[in-house]
Amino acid sequence: MMMENQLTQHSIQYGDELIRFALRRQPLRTAQRLAIHVEPDGSVLVDAAEATAVEAVLTAVKRRARWISQHVGAARERLAHVLPCEYVSGESLHYLGRRYRLKVMVQADVIPVARMRGGFIVVTVPVQSPVVIQQTLDDWFRGRARDVFADRLDVVAAPLSWVKDLPATRLQFMKVQWGSCSPAGRITLNPMLVKAPRECIDYVLLHELCHLLHHNHGPKFYKTLDRALPGWREIKERLDNRAEELLRA
Ligand SMILES: [Zn+2]
């Protein structure tokens, strides 16, 4: 988990406002000072050296809270008329917890296709149409979700004694839910979950796999979940904090 530029999510309170930010560790950063960026979409990114303690980061961000709040407010105001997604180049997309930029390329007679290239998700379409771009992106996310979820399901289910055979799964776009488990033991997953960090995907898979044993959220269910993944509450909170953003579009 020590990937370069890995982002972790944090927040500080500023008056009534909760300021969320992503912390990006920069191993080669020597300056003691942090760099705070307010992105065009109003999200906040903080660059810090590997050695800077999280406490020190939080203190520094709190000290700049007024400035951050003003800039986030301004960015949101600028975007107010275009949110949700406008499907134009430069827009932020998330995949496995990392931020990518959308790049739209228009090419006559091309079959719509999306692919990842560096920090970009490049969508090539025959016409500059938000509907076509959205459809192409949805297809791409669905394809990535199918592969990623199948891989992770193997890994997450392996140590669980009650899972003899992997359950049937299906994908379905949902507005407010990441996953569900039917009484018959079929697991439904929201393909948009593939936008979240891998540990959040693992948590959702595990949660649904625990439902194979307990079909409710009773004490036994949570006991099983606690035993399988003691830190699940923290992961769930991280996912909940980003739900609105990830489920958007
Ligand atoms: Zn549940």
Q: pLDDT tens, 11-23?
A: 999 887 889 999 9
Calculate how far, in angstroms, residue 209's C-alpha sits from the geometric centre of ligand 1: 9
Query: pLDDT grade, residue 41 (50/70/90)?
Result: confident
Calculate how far, in angstroms, residue 180's C-alpha sits from the geometric centre of ligand 1: 6
Among 79, 110, 128, the domain boundary falls at 79
The answer to whether residue 85 sits within a structural domain is no
Calculate how far, in angstroms, residue 217's C-alpha sits from the geometric centre of ligand 1: 6
What is the residue range of 232's domain?
144-247
For residue 188, the 8-state DSSP code is: E
Calculate how far, in angstroms, residue 126's C-alpha sits from the geometric centre of ligand 1: 42
Calculate how far, in angstroms, residue 77's C-alpha sits from the geometric centre of ligand 1: 36
Query: pLDDT grade, residue 233 (50/70/90)?
Result: very high
Six-digit token string for 242? 């980003």
Q: Calculate mean pLDDT across residues 100-121.
A: 95
The answer to whether residue 88 sits within a structural domain is no
Q: How many residues does the chain have?
A: 249
> Which residue type sits at 63?
R
Calculate how far, in angstroms, residue 218's C-alpha sits from the geometric centre of ligand 1: 10
Give the pLDDT confidence of 143-152 residue by residue, as tens digits: 999 999 999 9
Query: Comparing C-alpha atoms, which of 99, 105, 141 is closest to residue 249?
Result: 141
Q: Residue 4's pLDDT is what?
A: 42
The answer to whether residue 93 sits within a structural domain is no
Give the pLDDT confidence of 177-215 residue by residue, as tens digits: 899 999 999 999 999 999 999 999 999 999 999 999 999
Among 38, 53, 79, the domain boundary falls at 79
